[in-house]
Structure 1
């Protein structure tokens, strides 16, 4: 199998064809070495590190992330993952009887659960916009979502890039149209940063949360929450800690609330600058070339898989980032594995050494395969997947 020359930068199992970067990411060894260095520094003198040095280190990490996201660093807070970011916003907001919370049928299950929980607490209604599938265009998504907006709509929760179906949704158009109607948007950007270009300053979004451990390739446990400056007074962290009654005047209330939530390992988000440097340095054109390179690779993979399996693409290229889904024949009435995985996913791994998700959509027995493209992937790996699928589906 022809391996990518970039694979040497990762410590991935050489016996596994890893086509599932989208689920949990994969951290380059140089970034993991930086994390080990920071952990050693912390454990050498924990009080010095956590009490005297952490604030400045965190400020530097947020500055690097803010530059990458085109956002003021003081509008960013580090959280453990995007699910925490979604919960932070939803549990901070207040609603009245009769209010409506809008989302789509492609929303990530964990975030949808948080939305349902908050709706039940306040006695408000969750309205679900069922997106067309297959999707003809970005405009079809915009039209569908806007058709569900009413005078009672208070918030839209939407994925930037959907997990189950790998669609890059037209969030800029939706945010703008909803703000004109007096409705704010919470974007679950778990897959966004590092997969597609992103400018939070231009987006004008109320709330955006994204993972750094996926496409930015930082260590697990690094994510961020962006809150537009005018809305920050209404947002509190899920964990209330020392900042709540701090009398400091040199930092905003948003900073004081979010910068210290209790003893934890801060090294994942402190490694964000290193991850940005390492990944951005792998190609001459930096991050723009990395994202374009991965997108071109997954589009080629999607075309090859569709041709080999005799199916049509689910969506136009304008809705594709660095992940793509391809339809599979309906599943058989087999029981899922102990982890709830499709038996086909287990067979691909245990019989062919290929790690790739098989996801039910829009509902069982319908299903598809979702492939990711990261620098360490090669064309030969997608060809191997196609042949394995043909064999197993026969």
Structure 2
């Protein structure tokens, strides 16, 4: 674990929530911060910031299959979702619908509710089964919830609580352009083979601090060419009236400067891509394959320990996977089950246990990255047996 700063006394099985940043990337971030502080005026106002941001944009665009003109940076995928939804509010009419699934990340579902309420629109929910047997179950559930008033579909590329890789491209192919598809791809880049342009969606936002392992606070938003003129960040700044001298077109002018902030997390993304690529002899394809195989192995261990069937087919699993746990009468938290604290405090294991879809039902979600080992999941299974009385 020398490449990482993770506490060696804790078993970390929760990469999916916040990522983990290699030590070399944090060192690169510190160098950037020191450079800024040497002369902030020079860095921000005399071209260096914009030049380094554009270099980072090129690296990210190559990695995720995007064109540079449509790619901008935000602090996290939630900020990207908020920017798009706020931009869409003027086009929504009373009675229009924003469609989400019941697996949608709570923060982004909340953003949909607020934008809908401002416009007099409503949020509707597609009930996606879990456990499920086939990708088609997702497509059928979402399409069944589409009506002639559906204007936007907000959907995860990889769901947070349930760890499912959703068939976004299939849905976009059937819904676009009549229904604008906004993809919350928070977990996707670095975890699965991911190409934003091939998804066919209007908007794609994703984190770089999760599976790409940049410093925390780095994410991007990509907008399809025909949708770019009317998209703005949630924070309006100098670019709105041409006050920020970006040469990259409308999107860059709006998003590249939304006020003074620390851009070092964004600027570490190329360092992160290089650092993680060097950790596997086959580079990023090898990384993705290794962490997926490790996750599937961990899921198999838990399935056997809990004497349950798989909750989803293997082709819907990336490097995070969730398994249902026995219901618990004490599972009263809106988000996390007390079992999560017990696993941490009594067994030294950090792994999320969500009350999902609502108490008393709950799921446990494992993650895998290169700092994990197969035996980690055996240890988790032993701890679960002790806590559940198996």
- Number of the residue aligned with 1:4: none
Q: Which residue of 2 aligns with 1:325?
A: 322
From 251, 258, 263, the equivalent of 1:261 is 258
Deviation at 1:135, TM superposition (A): 1.0
Aligned with 2:296: secondary structure? helix
2:201 and 2:369 mapped to 1: Cα distance? 28
Matched pairs, number: 385
Residues 249 and 42 (structure 1), Cα distance of their counterparts in 2 relative to 1, 3 Å cut: closer
Cα distance in 2 for residues equivalent to 1:126 and 1:342: 27
Measure the CA separation in 1 of the matches of 2:246 and 2:75: 26
Unaligned runs of 5+ in 1: 1-6
Show CA shifts across 1:144-201 (max 9, x none): 1111112211110001111010010000100111116x11100011111111111112
Distance 1:304 1:16 in 2: 20
SS at match of 1:8: coil
Which range is displaced more, 359-368 or 112-121? 359-368
SS at match of 2:60: helix
Pick which of 145-154 and 110-119 moved more.
145-154
Displacement, 1:333?
Answer: 2.1
* CA–CA distance in structure 1, aligned partners of residues 329 and 12 of structure 2: 25
Question: Take 1:183 and 1:95, find their aligned partners in 2: how far apart are those partners?
Answer: 12
Q: Aligned-pair distance for 1:364?
A: 0.9
Say if 2:71 is the partner of 1:76: yes
**Equivalent position of 2:375 in the other structure:** 380
Alignment of 1:215-254 (within 5 A): 215-246=211-242, 250-254=247-251
Q: What CA distance in whole angstroms lies between the structure 1 residues aligned with 2:125 and 2:49?
A: 42
Q: Secondary structure at the match of 1:9?
A: coil
Shift of 1:363: 1.5
- For the residues of structure 1 that align with 2:352 and 2:329, how far apart are their CA atoms? 17
Counterpart of 2:93 in structure 1 is: 96
Shift, 1:334, TM fit: 5.8
Kindly indicate whether the alpha-carbon contact (under 8 Å) linking 2:332 and 2:360 is maintained by their aligned counterparts in 1.
Answer: no
1:253-292 pair list within 5 angstroms: 253-292=250-289
> Is 2:27 the counterpart of 1:27?
no
**Aligned counterpart for 1:55 among listed residues 45, 50, 56:** 50
Alignment counterpart, residue 353 of structure 1, candidates 348, 352, 372: 348
1:276 Cα deviation (Å)? Answer: 0.6
Question: Residue 171 of structure 2: SS of its match in structure 1?
Answer: helix
Quick check: 62-71 or 341-350, which moved more? 341-350
Partner of 1:3: none
Counterparts in 2 of 1:204 and 1:371: CA distance versus 1, 3 Å? same
Displacement of 1:204 after TM fit?
2.1
Tell me how far apart the structure 2 counterparts of residues 393 and 42 of structure 1 sit (CA, whole Å).
52
* Displacement after TM superposition at 1:34 (Å): 0.3
Pick the aligned partner of 1:144 from 136, 141, 145: 141
Tell me, in whole angstroms, the C-alpha distance in 2 between the residues paired with 1:69 and 1:249: 22
Cα deviation for residue 250 of structure 1 reads: 3.8
How far off is 1:55 after superposition? 0.3
TM-score with structure 1 setting the length:
0.95
Provide, for residues 217-261 of structure 1, a one-character-per-residue CA deviation record: whole Å limited to 9, x for no partner.
001100011111111111111111111122758431211111111
TM-score, normalised to structure 2, is 0.96
**Stretches of structure 2 lacking an aligned partner (at least 5 in a row):** none
What is the rounded CA distance, in whole Å, between the counterparts of 1:361 and 1:250 in structure 2? 46
SS in 1 for 2:72: strand
Aligned-partner Cα distance in 2 for 1:28–1:9: 6
Alignment pair present for 1:176 and 2:170: no
Residue 335 of structure 1 deviates from its aligned partner by 5.6
Distance 1:67 1:389 in 2: 42
Number of the residue aligned with 2:132: 135
CA displacement 1:328-361 (0-9 Å, x = unmatched): 111232665xx96322111111111000000112
Q: 10, 21, 39: which is aligned to 1:16? A: 10
Distance in 2 (alpha carbons) for counterparts of 1:230 and 1:89: 14
Task: Please state whether the residue corresponding to 1:224 is helix, strand or coil.
Answer: strand
Tell me the distance in 2 between the aligned counterparts of 1:327 and 1:175. Answer: 29
* CA shift in 2, pair 1:278/1:120, >3 Å: same
Q: Report the equivalent of 2:206.
A: 210
